[in-house]
């Protein structure tokens, strides 16, 4: 009984091993396919057929050489123009086999002996397919290919199978195709690898634009600040970074704190025209400020007017800055007019209160006129105007018509001698309606 048992075990062990000659058949066909003058395509088909037999044997599973041969044969097929159409997934399968081989034989002994056969052709095939889909604007398919290119490229660089330390181009393609495929999380992953190495230049500026905006919108402060700092370092003349920094500051800072920051910066004269515009826009359009009623909102509109007027002083040729200042004052004019009209009565105290309110209206009207006329004169005299400038100069004329109508009507009781002067202004700006 013991002899039978031992004999059975020995027979099982012998039958359980993949025969060396099976692997040899694959190798021989693959080698012959590389020999000049041979029918390479035919021999590759033969190598593939022999490989399929090996892989079909359950005993071949778990053996490093099985996956090594898959890498070499499928990778070589992927690089063969006559066979890649017949085996469209050969490059992807070669990559998966390579990963499994390295898992089973991490010292890379056998693939080094074989001089990394099939690896470069698999890489080239994946890259070419990615570019083909990219040119077709088939973003999902292109991304799928470049995702594999990056993975294979990482193997090449991390194991020093290439002199390159980082596969920059593949990461860029992977990021771009992921972004275009609306996979922004994936795009950020690939772009960040480039940004972490502070790779710059004209072709890469867009990735810093993407990363800073992506992390700002996601409110991931650590990542936003990290890539904003790198972007500023690499592209110091790009004003976008300051805009994004300001946007981040306003989103995460209380209104009272923003007022203090503005007043401190204004007092130190550290703000440029663009910064004043940013603050003006904040004090006008901040959601929390807009939700306040008119009397509470007035203090912030005052600050917006101050910011816009200082921006205009620093950039006198910019009629849009003057327009912003004029509109801010016009908002104060409208709010003050509404408040004044609500004061009713004939007592001395009420009349005094109404006179004070009218004084506020007059002051706001005068401020608005000053800046709107600066804007109108600047833009109306330009030989060429942008679409925005055309729209603004037309609106400016309409607002000045309203303001001078108010001034003319007020002059009837207060200063009749000024009536004709203001009436002429009313008629002039009325004639400008629709002209631009």
Length, in residues, of the chain: 436
Q: 144: phi > 0 → left, psi -120 to 50 → alpha, else beta; which?
A: alpha
Largest CA distance in the chain: 134
Answer yes or no: is pLDDT of 221 > 60. yes
Token pair for residue 230?
A: 């790198």
Judge contact between 169 and 146, C-beta under 8 A. Answer: no
pLDDT in tens, 121-177: 999 999 999 999 999 999 999 999 999 999 999 999 999 999 999 999 999 999 999
Token pair for residue 137?
A: 């604007």
pLDDT in tens, 41-92: 888 889 899 889 988 988 888 899 999 999 999 999 999 988 988 999 999 9
Instruction: Specify the pLDDT at position 169.
Output: 96
| 56 CB burial (10 A radius; 0-12, 13-18, 19+) | exposed
Q: How many CB atoms lie within 10 A of CB 345?
A: 10
User: Which candidate, 156, 161, 152, places its Cα nearest to that of 95?
Assistant: 152
Judge contact between 279 and 303, C-beta under 8 A. Answer: yes
What are the residue ranges of helices labelled H in 136-272?
Answer: 139-158, 168-180, 184-196, 205-217, 221-234, 240-251, 255-267
Which phi and psi (to 5°) does residue 316 adopt? Answer: -65, -20
- CA-based angle 285:287:291, to the nearest 5? 105
Q: Quick one: pLDDT band at residue 250, thresholds 50, 70, 90? A: confident
Answer yes or no: is pLDDT of 15 > 60. no
Predicted TM-score (pTM) of the model is 0.71
Higher-confidence residue of 1 and 242: namely 242
Q: How far apart are CA 156 and CA 219, in angstroms?
A: 35
Answer yes or no: is pLDDT of 109 > 50. yes
pLDDT in tens, 266-289: 999 999 999 999 999 999 999 899
Answer yes or no: is pLDDT of 16 > 50. no
- CA-based angle 402:335:295, to the nearest 5? 170
């Amino acid at each position: 009984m013991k002899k039978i048992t031992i004999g059975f075990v020995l027979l099982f062990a012998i039958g359980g091993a993949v025969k060396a000659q099976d692997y040899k058949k694959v190798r021989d066909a693959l080698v012959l396919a590389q020999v000049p003058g041979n029918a390479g395509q035919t021999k590759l088909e033969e190598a593939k057929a022999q490989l399929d037999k090996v892989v079909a044997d359950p005993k071949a599973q778990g053996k490093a050489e099985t996956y090594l041969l898959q890498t070499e044969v499928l990778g070589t097929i992927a690089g063969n123009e006559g066979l890649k159409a017949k085996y469209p997934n050969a490059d992807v399968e070669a990559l998966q086999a390579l990963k499994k081989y390295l898992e089973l034989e991490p010292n890379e002994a056998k693939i080094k002996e074989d001089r990394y056969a099939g690896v470069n052709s698999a890489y080239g095939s994946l890259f070419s397919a990615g570019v083909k889909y990219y040119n077709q604007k088939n973003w999902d398919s292109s991304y799928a290919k470049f995702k594999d290119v990056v993975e294979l490229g990482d193997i090449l660089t991390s194991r020093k199978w290439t002199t390159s330390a980082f596969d920059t181009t593949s990461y860029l393609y992977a990021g771009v195709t992921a972004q275009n495929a609306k996979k922004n999380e994936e795009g950020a992953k690939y772009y960040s690898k480039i940004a972490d190495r502070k790779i710059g230049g004209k072709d890469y500026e867009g990735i810093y634009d993407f990363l800073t905006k992506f992390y700002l919108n996601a409110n991931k402060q650590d990542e936003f600040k990290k890539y904003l700092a790198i972007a500023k370092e690499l592209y110091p003349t790009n004003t976008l970074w300051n805009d994004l920094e300001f946007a981040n500051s306003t989103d995460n800072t209380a209104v009272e704190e923003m007022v203090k920051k503005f007043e401190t910066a204004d007092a130190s004269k550290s703000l440029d025209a663009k910064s004043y515009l940013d603050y003006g826009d904040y004090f006008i359009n901040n959601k929390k400020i807009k939700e306040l009623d008119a009397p509470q909102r007035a203090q912030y509109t005052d600050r917006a007017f101050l910011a816009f007027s200082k921006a205009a002083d620093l950039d006198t040729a910019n009629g849009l800055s003057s327009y912003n200042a004029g509109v801010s004052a016009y908002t104060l004019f409208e709010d003050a007019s509404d408040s004044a009209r609500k004061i009713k009565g004939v007592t001395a105290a009420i009349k005094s209160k109404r006179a004070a309110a009218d004084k506020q209206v007059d002051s706001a009207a005068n401020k608005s006129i000053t800046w709107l006329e600066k804007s109108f004169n600047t833009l109306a005299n330009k030989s060429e105007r942008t679409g925005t400038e055309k729209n603004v100069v037309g609106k400016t004329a309409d607002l000045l018509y309203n303001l001078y109508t108010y001034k003319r009507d007020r002059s009837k009781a207060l200063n009749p001698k000024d009536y004709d002067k203001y009436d002429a202004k009313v008629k002039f700006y009325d004639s400008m309606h629709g002209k631009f």
